[in-house]
Amino acid sequence: MLAVVVVLLALYVRSGLSLWSAWRASSLDSAKVVSLKAQNDRLKSRDAQLHERWETEAQARRLGMARAGEKAYVIRGLPHD
């Protein structure tokens, strides 16, 4: 009789640990989903910015690009801000 009770108790403990492990994993996954949603919102905002013509041109100029027909000049020796 005692052996049966010990086996049943072991089964309950094992299933309890399994449930606790699953609960913990789901809470970690929920936190990751929140983080990924925030990152997705930031990326969508940046995507919308980059589709604006002025933003695309400003980014290209920061990279040293010029429009067709424009002359690019490099000025050296200016003091830093």
pLDDT at 74 over 90: no
**55: which residues sit within 8 A by CB, 6+ positions away?**
49
What pLDDT, on a 0 to 100 scale, did the predictor assign at position 81? 65
| Per-residue pLDDT band at 20 (split at 50, 70, 90) | confident
Q: What is the pTM of this model?
A: 0.47
Q: Convert the pLDDT of each residue in 23-73 to its tens digit.
A: 888 888 888 999 999 999 999 998 888 788 888 888 888 888 888 898 888
* Dist CA 33 CA 65 (whole Å): 39
- What is Dmax (Cα atoms) for the chain? 95
